[in-house]
Amino acid sequence: MIRINCPYCGERDHSEFSYGGDASIKYPSLEASEKEWTEAIFFRKNIRGFQLETWHHSNGCRMWLEVERSTVTHEIKSVRPCHPDLQKVVENNK
């Protein structure tokens, strides 16, 4: 079972979270072209090793998290809030 260390709630089972998707994607602006959106939505790398992904603490604090997880071993290297302001709060509370 994957265990995710939520910066707000502490370490919890993955069953409390919902998987989001690829956290490395920079979504284009709403005005951007169909081509740019196609790139962002449909073209994904299939990474063997550590990848950045989003997880939603849906049965917890509802925070969206950026998680660095190995697709091979499920090892989790880092967890931080997606929102930069929340990241700062976490940093300051360390």
Partner 1 sequence: MKSKRLNKLGKIDRDKTLNFTWDNKKLSGFEGDSLASALLANNIGIVGRSFKYHRPRGIFSSGVEESGALVTIGSKNRRDPNVRATTQELFDGLKASGQNAFPNVNFDLGGINNYIGRFFAAGFYYKTFMGIPPFEWGKGTTIWMLFEKLIRKAAGMGSASRLPDPDSYEHAHDFCDVIVVGSGPSGVAAAIEAAEKKLDVILVEQDSLVGGNQLSENDFSTSKIFNQLKSLGIKVMTRTTAFGLYDNCVVGLLERVTDHLSIPDSTLPRQRFWTIRAKHIIVGSGALERHIAFNNNDIPGVMTVNASKHYLNRYGVLTGEDIVIATNNDSVYETANELSEAGANVTVLDSRTNIEIDSNKNFEIRKGFIPYNINGTKKIDSLDISKSENINKVDTINCDQVLLSGGWSPAVHLLSHRGVKPKWDPENACFIPSDTKENITMIGSSRGLWNKDDCIASGVAGATDALNRLGVSKTNYFFPKPGGWQNPIKPLYEVKYKKSRSKSFVDYQHDVTADDVRLAHREGFISVEHLKRYTTLGMANDQGKMGNIIGLSLMADLLNKEIPEIGTTVFRPPYTPVPIGALTGRNVGKHFRPLRVTPMHQWNIDHGAKMIEVGLYQRPWYYPKKNETLSDSYIREATFVRKTVGICDVTSLGKIAVQGPDATEFLNRIYSNAFAKLQVGKARYGIMLRDDGIVMDDGTSWRLSENEYFMTTSTAAAAKVMAWLEELLQTRWTDLKVNVTSVSEQWAGAAVAGPKSREVLNNCVEDPSLISNENFPFMGVISTFLKGKIPCRIARISFSGELAFEVYIKSDFANTMMDLLWENAQKYDGCLYGLEALGALRVEKGHVTGAELDGRVTIDDAGLGKMASIKKSYIGSAMRKRGVLSADNRETLVGFFPTDLKETFNAGTIVCEKNNVKGQGIGRITSVTHSPELGHWIGIGFVEGGLDKWKNTTLVGADPVRNKQMNLKVVSPHMIDPKGERMYA
Q: How far is the CB of 63 from partner 1 (least distance, A)?
A: 7
Q: How far is the CB of 33 from partner 1 (least distance, A)?
A: 7
Of 65, 19, 22, whose CA–CA distance to 42 is shortest? Answer: 22
User: Cβ atoms within 10 A of the Cβ of 4, count?
Assistant: 20
> Using CA atoms in the order 61, 63, 66, 70, what is the torsion angle rounded to 10 degrees?
30
User: Cβ atoms within 10 A of the Cβ of 10, count?
Assistant: 9
Return the one option of partner 1, Zn ion, none that residue 62 interacts with (CB less than 5 to 8 A, by type): partner 1
Residue numbers 5-34 binding Zn ion by CB under 5 A: 6, 8-9
Residues 27-66 as x/- pattern, contact with Zn ion by CB under 5 A: ------------------------------x--xx-----
